[in-house]
Chains A and B, each alone.
Chain A
């Protein structure tokens, strides 16, 4: 248990469906992240949220829509996905060292295994 939970753990959806992935962290962190891991590829960052504000969007298609209502929760809304979007979606959180230059590690959830049919 890392203190980061993700639901659902597995999701199968059709290309016309709309679904949401949920991430919750119980660590008191103020930064949250979405990563994508496709088969046999390295993890790729999708989004970064810091104090509920999006600070990075790694050229992610608009069919992926993140939402961060507070520092403990992060959502990824999915609509009209493609089969190539099938992957493991990982959420992470960390403390934010801000300008102090302190470096903090990221804690990852177990991931949501998404299959688009």
Chain B
């Protein structure tokens, strides 16, 4: 699985959009970009994933660059409950596949 690079930490004001970047310059053509988050001492929570097109769901939007070497997770109106560690993971779509977690980005939403 391709390696990802994320900033260690970020801050965002409550009510503003939080934009979390991820670099995955060695991504292969058959690898998806996944985002999970982990609120303190809880299990990780799936947010969104995509292959090449931008994706949006009720939680967030995922913007993938045309060359697929980087992506941005957007939380459109951040709340205090969005404070968590956010993980960007790339993996192939093939059966039951493990997730390889890095250190992620610790996002703090400030009132």
Contacts and interface: CB of A to CB of B under 8 A. Distances in A.
Which residue, B30, B45, B46, B91, has most C-beta atoms of chain A within 10 A? B46
A84 to B, nearest CB: 19
A97 B94 contact: yes
B46 A99 contact: no
Given A92-B43, A105-B49, A108-B43, A43 B101 contact: yes
B41 A88 contact: yes
B96 A101 contact: no
Contacts of B30: 101
B93 A101 contact: yes
Contacts of A108: 43-45
Contacts of A45: 98-100
B43 A31 contact: no
B65 interface: no
Q: Is the interface of B mostly helix, strand, loop or mixed?
A: loop
A50 B94 CA distance: 12
Contact of A50 (B45, B95, B101): B95
Interface in A94-117: 94, 96-99, 101-103, 105-111, 113
A92 B101 CA distance: 14
Interface of A: 2, 4, 30-31, 33, 42-45, 48-50, 55-56, 58, 88, 90, 92, 94, 96-99, 101-103, 105-111, 113
Given A106-B46, A107-B46, A111-B41, 20 more contacts: A2-B43, A2-B45, A30-B96, A33-B96, A42-B101, A48-B96, A48-B98, A58-B98, A90-B43, A92-B44, A94-B96, A97-B94, A98-B95, A101-B30, A103-B49, A106-B44, A108-B45, A110-B42, A111-B42, A111-B43
19 contacts: A42-B102, A43-B101, A45-B98, A50-B95, A50-B96, A58-B98, A90-B44, A92-B44, A92-B99, A101-B93, A101-B94, A102-B93, A103-B92, A103-B93, A105-B46, A105-B49, A107-B46, A108-B43, A111-B42
Smallest CB-CB A-B distances: 4 pairs:
A108-B43, A103-B93, A31-B96, A105-B46
